Structure 1
């Protein structure tokens, strides 16, 4: 392994981690929204049988 590829690898790893964090955040927020709308429709169903 070359010594000079250290910082570049670090930068690449950091970028990857940021991308992963952003993706998981988007996924979890989308999931939360779906959960909420599902709960809302369930509530409406129970109110209007």
Structure 2
């Protein structure tokens, strides 16, 4: 909620909130998960190959 809407105790207009449709939100969410997995795999592989004594 932006400062003006909070100060006036009103809800922001729907056009201010709903900027992306469902397909775009799904693509952004799945893209974020894919980036996280791809970013975690190299360190996890390295840690799995490292021997501890």
TM-score tier (shorter) = 0.5 to 0.7
Structure 2: gaps of 5 or more residues: 1-16
> Residue 24 in 1 paired to residue 40 in 2?
yes
With a CA cutoff of 8 Å and minimum separation of 6, indicate the structure with the bigger relative contact order.
2
> Residue 5 in 1 paired to residue 5 in 2?
no
- Give the drift of 1:10: 0.5
Structure 1: gaps of 5 or more residues: 43-49
Structure 2-normalised TM-score? 0.51
Q: CA RMSD in A?
A: 2.1
Structure 1-normalised TM-score? 0.54
